[in-house]
Chain A
Amino acid sequence: MPNKELTAKEMMTRDAAGEDLLRQSAERLLAERPYIRDFFAAFGLPTMERRQTAGDVFDGLDAERLEDLGVTREQLAERFSAFIEKMESFRREGIASVREVSIIGGRDKDGRPEDVRLDLRTGEVIAVVGPTGAGKSLLLSDIECLAQGDTPSGRRILIDGEPPDEAARLSGEQRLVAQLSQNMNFVMDLSVREFVALHAESRLVEDVDAVVERIFTAAVRLSGEPFRLETPVTALSGGQSRALMIADVACLSVSPIVLIDEIENAGVDRRQALDLLVKREKIVLIATHDPLLALSSDRRMVVKNGGIVAVLDSSPEERAVLGQLQALDDGLSLLRSQIRGGLRLDCDLMGLLAAQDREAGL
């Protein structure tokens, strides 16, 4: 006789039509929920035959095998339903997306009030400026842990205008920030193709090959130097790695905010990188002291002594000089590629810039 508890367990493993997933044939189960293969792989369970059910497999495990797996049969069935629940919530995660993240000011390191409310919207690029130790990491940390007046800064973070659900916050469900910094490296021993495919699979993407192709194409475009899908990720140059990380975050990361910690000038087309992230509806925070990048952003947030002291829009004068800065940057890129190509530098810098101006005017 099934007791109440068992009935509750069975409920959890039912599909939309009310069918018990534990008793569904592998053929149907895997067609609708291909991720269930991962459950069997993760627990080192024998693969299901076409007509077998997950319940059959669990029932067929002897005591010794269960002991090796580190679970009891009941725990395994419970885990099976928890796993399915979790995977279904991941599927939904891809659809429901954050539109706006707000920072409500708290206080700076001396306890002075930080009188600011900042709404960050998707598709926006915000530069974060201020010297080392000014409080940039603190700000990021506040966003990442969805501070609710309980961090040293006293700041509060709202998602789409609402404070986050406390239970969800403490379970670490919502990862708001994807981070890219120069200290980050690939540590997996995989090719570019395998690497991106692994990430795509973890996002339960349907057409993995198409996503791999899209990210690869974008990454090669961002990086000056071409590489191949078969190149091991650990063999990529600094610029190529950064380009792949940016393209991957833009297309696959679940987090609505991307924080970029000063991308080096060499090896990555930074404007294109920002364009790609904006096009993918990310909120881009970029810690930078580069004038060109700072002016390419929509606004810049000035951080000092642990507090946000100003939020600056680019002034008309600053915008006017953007064209010249761009020309300078392009000029430097050209010189860089001459060095890379083993050539002598074109030393007529003024002529170089004038030529570029003419080209831009055409």
Chain B
Amino acid sequence: MKLATVAGAPSSGKTSVILKAAEGLKAAGWKLGVVKFDCLSSEDAKRYTAAGVAVKTGLAGSLCPDHFFITNIEACVQWGRSHGLDLLISESAGLCNRCSPHIKGVLAVCVVDNLSGVNTPRKIGPMLKTADVVVITKGDIVSQAEREVFTFRVKQVNPRAAVLPVNGLSGQGALLLERRLQAASDVESLVNARLRFAMPAALCSYCLGETRIGSDCQVGNIKMMDLE
């Protein structure tokens, strides 16, 4: 079974883009599955089911969605294999810009949208900077100049990535993403595989449910701002 991780900010168009690429793959006879990782709720499972894509939803709740994702991905891979999928896509929302969901040896896709502003590529960390393919959406509503500047900025922070504009509504450009997904590597198990970059660190008292404020209450992995 082939595996790909797709990550991007909320509402950047991940689901629409995956569905557009899925159309072509399904037409070519591929059996597809998606694991949708989200935080509190997700309605996207319905869209996948309607498109004939097997889907599982994982809600991280109060946990860091990245940590939740990586502790569950191996089980998801085995779920996909037991269902005879040709390709499994993990779709996760990069809720903080320090997200780092990409795995060595697994096709890594990051979705960013033109509306997020030209400084956004510089603000996103490993999710964008370590991706193999960067999909840029919502190009149909901004000017050519803005599309070109945005693409340029993405290539500056990740010069090695393929940068593909895809229109999540019309599907324009989805073909090239489809081709990249077809070429994803086969994965039997992720045990002993490694993340491309360490995930955001956590483990302070607030991770464990602390709600009070003040230096007496903050323990663990904490970092103070320098306001001088």
Q: B58 — which chain A residues lie within 8 A by C-beta?
A: none
Q: Is the CB of A185 within 8 A of B141?
A: yes
Q: Is A281 interfacial (CB 8 A cutoff)? A: no
Q: Is the CB of B155 within 8 A of A137?
A: no
What's the least CB distance linking B51 to chain A, in Å?
17
Given contacts A199-B145, A199-B148, contact A170 B180 (CB under 8 A): yes
Q: A186 — which chain B residues lie within 8 A by C-beta?
A: 142-143, 146
Which listed residue (B155, B170, B201) contacts A86, Cβ 8 A?
A: B155
Interface centre among A44, A169, A172, A196 (most CB of B within 10 A): A172
What's the least CB distance linking B171 to chain A, in Å?
8
Interface size on B, residues (CB 8 A): 43
Q: Is B70 interfacial (CB 8 A cutoff)? A: no
Q: B156 — which chain A residues lie within 8 A by C-beta?
A: 38-39, 42, 83, 86-87
Given contacts A70-B129, A150-B175, contact A79 B159 (CB under 8 A): yes
What's the least CB distance linking A169 to chain B, in Å?
7
Interface centre among A151, A184, A253, A254 (most CB of B within 10 A): A184
Q: Is the CB of B157 within 8 A of A42?
A: yes
A145 and B164 CA atoms in complex are apart in Å by 9
Q: B165 — which chain A residues lie within 8 A by C-beta?
A: 172, 175
A184 and B147 CA atoms in complex are apart in Å by 11
Which segment of A244-252, A314-322, A326-334 sits at the interface?
A244-252
A188 and B118 CA atoms in complex are apart in Å by 8
A343 and B151 CA atoms in complex are apart in Å by 47
Q: B122 — which chain A residues lie within 8 A by C-beta?
A: 41-44
Q: Is A202 interfacial (CB 8 A cutoff)? A: yes
Which chain B residues (127-151) contact chain A, with CB distance < 8 Å? Answer: 129, 140-146, 148-149, 151
Q: Is B179 interfacial (CB 8 A cutoff)? A: yes
Q: B52 — which chain A residues lie within 8 A by C-beta?
A: none
What's the least CB distance linking B130 to chain A, in Å?
8
Which chain A residues (39-61) contact chain B, with CB distance < 8 Å? Answer: 39, 41-44
Q: Is B198 interfacial (CB 8 A cutoff)? A: yes
- Proximity string of chain B (89-116) to chain A, C-beta cutoff 8 Å, 1 when within and 0 when not: 0000000001010000000000000110
Given contacts A172-B165, A188-B117, A248-B145, contact A137 B198 (CB under 8 A): no
Question: Which A residue sits closest to B139, measured CB to CB?
Answer: A179
Which listed residue (A67, A90, A183, A253) contacts B144, Cβ 8 A?
A: A253
The 5 nearest A-B residue pairs measured at CB = A70-B125, A86-B159, A202-B152, A82-B159, A171-B162
A/B interface sample: 21 pairs, CB < 8 A: A38-B156, A43-B157, A69-B125, A71-B129, A79-B159, A82-B159, A140-B172, A141-B173, A144-B173, A169-B176, A170-B176, A171-B163, A172-B163, A172-B176, A179-B140, A181-B140, A184-B140, A195-B145, A241-B143, A245-B144, A253-B144
Could you tell me which A residues sit within 8 Å of B by CB distance? 38-39, 41-44, 67, 69-72, 79, 82-83, 85-87, 90, 137, 140-141, 144-145, 147, 150-151, 169-172, 175, 178-181, 183-188, 195-196, 198-199, 202-203, 241, 245, 248-249, 252-255
